Chain A
C-alpha cells in the first residue's frame, strides 16, 4: 500500500514515524484494552495524572475505568524477562484547569526488566530521536529524583514543609524557597541547596560540577554520579545526544527513582515528551524488575498545525446539466493524473486548486 504523505495530519505522521523508530530498536507494538478494573488506578491514584477517572459498571457488575494511563497496564501484563514495548493509545483524563475529561492520544515506549546504564542511554537516545522526528530544534531536560530524595533526607522539617519545598522547586520559585526556609528555621547549608535546585538550569557539562558541589549525603552523590555517567555516555560517539539539567523535574518518589526527563519543541507550550525510571511503581505492583519509559503527547502537536491551509481538493468538477456518465469519466481521467477531484453540481465556498465546469 502506498500513501501520499500529505494525507496524514501531523499527529498521524509523527505517530507512524515514531513507531518505525521504536521498531528499529526492536521494541514490539503493544495493543491494550480501552478499559481496566477501577481498582488498578484507584490504588495508584497519584501516579495517574488527575484525580478523577471515567468509570462505568461492566456487565458482571465490576467497576471499570477508561484507561487514564498506559504504563500501569503494561506493568500489570509484565511476565518477567526483558520486555521492550511501544504503543500508540488514547488515554482519558480530566485535564488541568478546565476540569473536563479529554481523550489524549499518546505514543511511547517502556523497557522493563534489566535496566542499567545501557538501557537508560538507549531510552534517552530514543527520546532525543523522537523529538528530532517532530522538530529539528528541540530540548531534552534530565534530572534525577535521587537528588531530591537525598535532599529531603538531609532536611530537618515536617512533611508539609518538605512538600511545599518540592512544589516551589517545580515552579523554579527560588525566592519563596529562600523565605520559606528562613521562616521554618532550615539550616543554611540545606536551604542553599534547595534554592540552587530551584534556580539551576543549563547544559549538563557546565552544571554537573556545580551539582556535585551541592551534594549533602551519599544518596545525592550517588544520584549525581549516575547523571554524570549517563551524560558522558550520551555525549560520546559520532552522534552525541545533548541534554540539559533541570532539577525542577520532581516526580512522586513512591513511583519514580533515578532518571527523569522531559522534552520540548518550539511552538508547543508545555513538555511534549515526559519519562523516567519507575522501578518503585513496578515493586508496588508486586513485580521485581527495573523499568524506564516515556510518552509523547501527540495531541499537543495540534498547536503546531494551522497557518498553511491545504485545498479541499485539487480540482472541483461541476457537472451542472451534464450526464452522470460524463462527470464520472472526466473525474476518473483527472484522478488518473494524480489529482484529487471533488464532483458536485455547482461551485461552492470550498478551497480548490481549480474549478472545471463540464
Chain B
C-alpha cells in the first residue's frame, strides 16, 4: 500500500507534533537518529515523514507533494491554501495580537499604520471593524516599527509576551487564537481515505488529556 506522506514543520513545534504522532502509534524510530536524511519512512505503520520550513508545509500539502501536514492556523489564515483542515492538534497555542506603545491612542482622523508579517490577517481584522489601515509589510523584527515611528501598531504572534515587554510594548487587543492544525491534500484525502481517517482518530485519542 502507498504510504501516507506527512510534512512536519521544522523546529520545536514540529518535534512536539512528531511526539503526538508517535503516541498515536505512527512513530518512525529513524527520525530520532542523527543523520542527514530528509525523508523517514516506517513500512509497518505506512507513514513517511519529512521536515520542511513551517510556512512551506501548506504548499507541500496543497500541491500534493505531501498527503498530510501540520501547519499553524496563522499560516492557514494568511495564505488560505486549498486544503482540508481535519484536526486542531491543540499544540503550539499562542495568540495573534495587536500591540503598541502603552500610551497608544487610535487617531481615527487618519488611517491606522499597521506593521505586520501577516497583511491578509491584519486587513481582514480591521475590515471587520470598518477601520481603514495602511499595511506595512515587514519580514521580521516587527517590534521595531512602533518604536521608530514606522507604524502606530503591530499585528504579530505573541507567545509569552517577553519580546513585547523587553521593548516596552503592550498587547492592545487579541486578533486570533493560534494552534497547530492537521491539513490534508484534497485528492490524497480521497484516495487514502481509510488510512487518513484511522490516523485522525488515533491522533485525536492520543491528544485527549495531553497538550
The residues of A with any CB-CB pair to B shorter than 8 Å are 96-97, 137, 139, 141, 171-173, 175-176, 201-202, 244, 246, 248, 264, 266, 268-271, 303
Contacts and interface: CB of A to CB of B under 8 A. Distances in A.
A172 B84 contact: yes
Interface stretch (B34-42, B152-160, B182-190): B182-190
B143 interface: no
Contacts of A248: 84
A270 B187 contact: yes
Nearest to A168: B85
A302 to B, nearest CB: 13
Contacts of A172: 84-86, 184, 189
5 contacts: A96-B82, A141-B190, A172-B189, A266-B187, A270-B186
B85 to A, nearest CB: 4
A216 B83 CA distance: 29
Contact of B88 (A139, A175, A201, A264): A175
Contacts of A201: 189-190, 193
A160 B63 CA distance: 30
A244 B190 CA distance: 9
Interface in B60-104: 62-64, 79, 81-88
Interface string B194-210: 00000000000000000
Given A137-B191, A172-B84, A264-B186, 18 more contacts: A97-B79, A139-B191, A141-B190, A171-B83, A171-B84, A172-B85, A172-B184, A172-B189, A173-B86, A202-B193, A266-B187, A266-B191, A268-B187, A269-B63, A269-B185, A270-B64, A270-B186, A303-B64
B66 to A, nearest CB: 10
Given A139-B190, A141-B190, A173 B63 contact: no
B65 to A, nearest CB: 8
Contacts of A264: 186-187, 190-191
A199 to B, nearest CB: 9
Nearest to B79: A97
A132 B81 CA distance: 28
Given A172-B85, A176-B85, A271 B193 contact: no
Contacts of A137: 191
Interface of B: 62-64, 79, 81-88, 184-187, 189-191, 193
Given A244-B190, A264-B187, A269 B85 contact: no
A269 B64 contact: yes
A177 to B, nearest CB: 10
Given A171-B84, A176-B88, A264-B191, A271 B186 contact: yes
Contacts of B63: 269
B133 to A, nearest CB: 20
Nearest to B76: A171
A264 B88 CA distance: 26
A173 B73 CA distance: 12
Closest 3 A-B residue pairs measured CB to CB?
A269-B64, A172-B84, A173-B85
Contacts of A97: 79, 81
Contacts of B189: 172, 201
Contacts of B64: 268-270, 303
A139 B192 CA distance: 11
Contacts of A171: 83-85
A202 B189 CA distance: 11
Task: Give the interface centre of B63, B64, B187 by most chain A CB atoms within 10 Å.
Answer: B187
Contacts of B187: 264, 266, 268-271
A175 B82 contact: no
Contacts of A175: 85, 87-88
Contacts of B193: 201-202
A132 B84 CA distance: 25
A349 B116 CA distance: 50
Contacts of B186: 264, 269-271
A74 B79 CA distance: 34
Contacts of B82: 96, 270
A246 B190 CA distance: 10
A250 to B, nearest CB: 13
Nearest to B81: A97
Contacts of A268: 64, 187
Nearest to A141: B190
Contacts of A96: 82
B61 to A, nearest CB: 9
A269 B84 contact: no
A96 B81 CA distance: 9
A264 B185 CA distance: 12
